[in-house]
Chain A
């Protein structure tokens, strides 16, 4: 039920209203509205109950195991939240002079430095407000670099078919043609196809490593060499950085530009619509093009670096400094973990994924790449079950909800039929992983004895199986109480 449906004319909730109305008398008449806005008219208690009920219907990392592959749904430590909400941070005005905000600038500067260290890049800009904006900034820098060298012919970005789905979209948004590079049977980039594809038209390649197949790209050095020799640059999509945090650095693999998803790898809240943060890191040759503002420190004072100092910058991506509240949470997270803790993130994320993979394999599930070790995630394919029992990956996913588990990512990557992409993350206990395996086994038994239980799932959730096709064909997301 929508809150508008609780609405009755004249109902008010005044207990928190200001005692006196604000006197605003200088708005020009043509900007004043004739009709009051169509707000719901509800009592305070109705409002509290409505939103409390909605929050209870939510499926979230705070209530359930959430193994959504490639999304890194890990626990968000409460300390990060508490410290990022200190009054000094919350009350700071974004236009306050740097001298009045040395504390927050110090945190941002240190975060820049830590991200440089962790990724092996030469410089970092924190300002992209989410992963998509980070990708856009990264490819915009590749473009700016080639144009600054008057290298106009490079109009193509290579994207392996195991890369993140956002990569071709980003390249297209930045005005490039996209050429897809196939994957070999082992899940690595097809090197011969790559050799054949590079040339004077190659602006760069966008790679996710580990790839969305849940395996590490073993010939990354060779890939870097091939692309660099052709004059192209290497873009690292940080979606799967959790698997290698503190272990292998994209900068050492030969990448020229990377984006990181702090809402994944650095555990800022994720899945509630954000906000996210997608900092970008670059090698020396791309540094002049970094988006502004950046934070500088001369040993005495922290200050903003703006476009004036960086005339070749691709510019600003938002009015202020991206999502500072999110950056602060990531900063606290990194400080709490320390260098040793960062190593443990990758170790436990990988251990949990491999444990879950081996247990599911032993229980009779088919792996997409059984000969490969998992990174932080792995793929189960239900192709056999679809053929023999007529149950799909979607049926399994929906039935998992009834067992109290959020579904893994389904039907992605596109290379693997009827797939579940499973990422447990480092913050789950072994008992939780065992419970998930038991649920998968029980669903497998149901697929044989009562397949309709799967086809009609979920049975215990606030809503039943949604008609996704109709929702996409008749897209209608507007509530219009007047009409």
Chain B
């Protein structure tokens, strides 16, 4: 059973999002996603200031099996990308919801997170896949 923390929101393309106190949102890939990809060898994150549309590819994660785009389910402006992952891509495998975060963005619509799945809905989605 994959680890899906209760305080996060989830997308069908296996991203997690955390609403921060300062109004920004942190985005990463879920424990299930990192497990499916296997050991990551390369991570590319966006630069601060980039405008993202909902469903736009915003980062790249690459394992020995596959290179995959990461999509943002909500629109917004990138505040920062997790540059440390360039040297430590394994952080996404070891700590997907912590040190393995990919980017922080300022959402265009503060309520956009509400439309996403909560932990139990994502868990049910995983079981149906």
Residues of A whose CB lies within 8 Å of any CB of B are: 410-412, 414, 417, 468-469, 472-473
Report the Cα distance A469→B39, complex, angstroms.
7
Residue numbers in B under 8 Å from A473 (CB-CB): 41, 89-90
Residue numbers in B under 8 Å from A469 (CB-CB): 38-39, 41, 63-64
Report the Cα distance A60→B34, complex, angstroms.
34
Could you list 10 further interchain pairs (A-B, Cβ under 8 angstroms) beyond the known A468-B64, A472-B41? A410-B65, A411-B65, A411-B66, A414-B66, A469-B38, A469-B41, A472-B42, A472-B64, A473-B89, A473-B90
Smallest beta-carbon distance B29→chain A, Å: 15
Report the Cα distance A414→B63, complex, angstroms.
12
Report the Cα distance A417→B68, complex, angstroms.
14
Interface residues of B in 13-70 (CB under 8 A from A): 36, 38-39, 41-42, 63-66, 68
Report the Cα distance A417→B35, complex, angstroms.
12
Residue numbers in A under 8 Å from B36 (CB-CB): 417
Majority SS of interface residues in chain A?
A: mixed
Smallest beta-carbon distance B107→chain A, Å: 24
Contacts between chains A and B (CB distance < 8 A), count: 19
Report the Cα distance A414→B42, complex, angstroms.
17
CB<8 Å pairs between A and B, sample of 19: A410-B65, A411-B65, A411-B66, A412-B66, A414-B66, A414-B68, A417-B36, A468-B64, A469-B38, A469-B39, A469-B41, A469-B63, A469-B64, A472-B41, A472-B42, A472-B64, A473-B41, A473-B89, A473-B90
Residues of B whose CB lies within 8 Å of any CB of A are: 36, 38-39, 41-42, 63-66, 68, 89-90
Report the Cα distance A410→B90, complex, angstroms.
22
Report the Cα distance A469→B93, complex, angstroms.
12
A417: nearest chain-B partner, CB-CB: B36
Report the Cα distance A106→B94, complex, angstroms.
61
Smallest beta-carbon distance B122→chain A, Å: 18
Report the Cα distance A472→B41, complex, angstroms.
6
Report the Cα distance A468→B64, complex, angstroms.
7
Report the Cα distance A412→B39, complex, angstroms.
17
Report the Cα distance A411→B38, complex, angstroms.
11
Report the Cα distance A412→B68, complex, angstroms.
13
Report the Cα distance A161→B12, complex, angstroms.
17
Residue numbers in A under 8 Å from B41 (CB-CB): 469, 472-473
Smallest beta-carbon distance A333→chain B, Å: 34
Smallest beta-carbon distance B129→chain A, Å: 10
B93: nearest chain-A partner, CB-CB: A469
Q: Which among B39, B42, B63, B64 has the highest number of chain A CB atoms within 10 Å?
A: B64
Residue numbers in A under 8 Å from B66 (CB-CB): 411-412, 414
Smallest beta-carbon distance B113→chain A, Å: 25
A392: nearest chain-B partner, CB-CB: B38
Report the Cα distance A414→B61, complex, angstroms.
14
Residue numbers in A under 8 Å from B89 (CB-CB): 473
Report the Cα distance A379→B81, complex, angstroms.
37
Smallest beta-carbon distance A197→chain B, Å: 13
